[in-house]
Amino acid sequence: GAVVSQHPSWVICKSGTSVKIECRSLDFQATTMFWYRQFPKQSLMLMATSNEGSKATYEQGVEKDKFLINHASLTLSTLTVTSAHPEDSSFYICSAPPVQAGGQGNEQFFGPGTRLTVL
Amino acid sequence: GIQVEQSPPDLILQEGANSTLRCNFSDSVNNLQWFHQNPWGQLINLFYIPSGTKQNGRLSATTVATERYSLLYISSSQTTDSGVYFCAVGYSSASKIIFGSGTRLSIRP
């Protein structure tokens, strides 16, 4: 159980275009999902918290108008990189903690990641 | 915010050796997880261990929450254990977790 999928697994796009990445929890519901970015040989940096039915919460320094997040259902969150540029090239990973009583300190499960290359 | 430090940053061992990876954190936590990131980038959940000790095969982990550290033990290392090991902690009412900088483990045959 606790499987998270991402689509696409990799994408190459031209500078100035927008790219949408989907994150799905396959066998559990998640009121909250998280989006991370990882540059080569670095750690994962939290970008934003995706909240089902409400606005996303962005970490300091992350442009909310550039990285649009929509959490349309209890099993789907999407990240749209708008007007992508080469510096947005990175590995994007989502995670989700299964909904359970209390809601704090839940184990998180990660998707396989999406590798974005902007030419 | 909370600081998460992992040591050592790099570790090279011969197959069969044992290793200990450390994760220090600067504040109280309500979540601590250990992950192995494989060469394709997938994060594999190893342990959910905000406190106490757990074992799973050749791997075990101990978190001493009062002293703000966690240890991951790998015994009888195999080449397939190579990769980056991350610890990540959660510390607020939100469920988000913050990652340490990782330990890159290389197991030589």
Residues belonging to chain A: 119
Least confident among A25-29, A45-49, B13-17, B97-101: A25-29
> How many CB atoms are closer than 10 A to CB B8?
13
Question: How many whole angstroms from its chain centre is CA A111?
Answer: 9
Contact criterion met (CB < 8 Å) for B94 and A32: yes
Residue A106 is predicted with a pLDDT of 79
Q: What is the pLDDT of residue A102?
A: 46
Q: Which residues of A touch B97 (CB under 8 A)?
A: 34, 46, 95, 108
Under a CB-based contact definition with an 8 Å cutoff, are residues A85 and A67 in contact? Answer: no
pLDDT, mean of residues B77-97:
90
Question: What's the pLDDT tens digit per position in B6-34?
Answer: 999 999 999 999 999 999 999 999 899 99
pLDDT of amino acid A97 = 86
**Which pLDDT score is estimated for A101?**
46
CB contact under 8 A, A106 and B33: no
Residues of A in contact with B96 (CB under 8 A): 34, 46, 49
Chain centroid to CA B15: how far? 19
Residue A100: pLDDT band (50, 70, 90) is low
- Torsion angles phi and psi, residue A29, rounded to 5: -100, 150
Residue A63 has what pLDDT? 94
The count of other CB atoms within 10 Å of the CB of residue B53 is 13
DSSP state letter for B51: S
Best probe of the A interface among B96, B98, B99, B103, by most A CBs < 10 A, is B96
Read off the pLDDT of residues B50-80 as tens digits, 9 standing for 90 and up: 999 999 999 999 999 999 999 999 999 999 9
Burial A48-85 (b: 16+ CB within 10 A, else e): bbbbbeeebbbbeebeeeebbbebeebbbbbbebeebe
Q: What pLDDT is recorded for position B14? A: 97
What residues pair up with B45 in beta bridges, in sequence order?
A: B35
Residues found in chain B:
109
Amino acid B64: pLDDT: 97
Instruction: Show residues of chain B in contact with A113, CB under 8 Å.
Output: 41-42
Average pLDDT over residues A68-84: 95
d(CA A62, CA A119): 21
Q: With a cut of 60, say whether residue A67 has pLDDT above it.
A: yes
Tell me how far apart the alpha carbons of residues A29 and A99 are, in angstroms, rounded to a whole number.
6
Of the candidates A36, A45, A105, the beta carbon closest to that of B30 is on A105
Chain A residues whose C-beta sits inside 8 Å of any chain B C-beta: 32, 34, 36, 38, 42-46, 49, 91, 93, 95, 97, 103-110, 112-113, 115
Question: Which value, in Å, is the radius of gyration of the alpha carbons in chain A?
Answer: 14
Compute the nearest-CA separation of B100 from chain A (Å): 7
The order of strands in the sheet holding A19-25 is A4-7, A19-25, A76-81, A67-73
- In this model, does residue A103 exceed pLDDT 70? no
Q: Select from B100, B71, B74, B85 the least CA-distant residue to B13.
A: B74
Give mean pLDDT, residues A72-89. 95
From the DSSP assignment, how many helices (H) and strands (E) are in chain B? Answer: 0, 11
Which of B28, B45, B95 to mutate to test binding with chain A, by most A CBs within 10 Å of its CB? B95
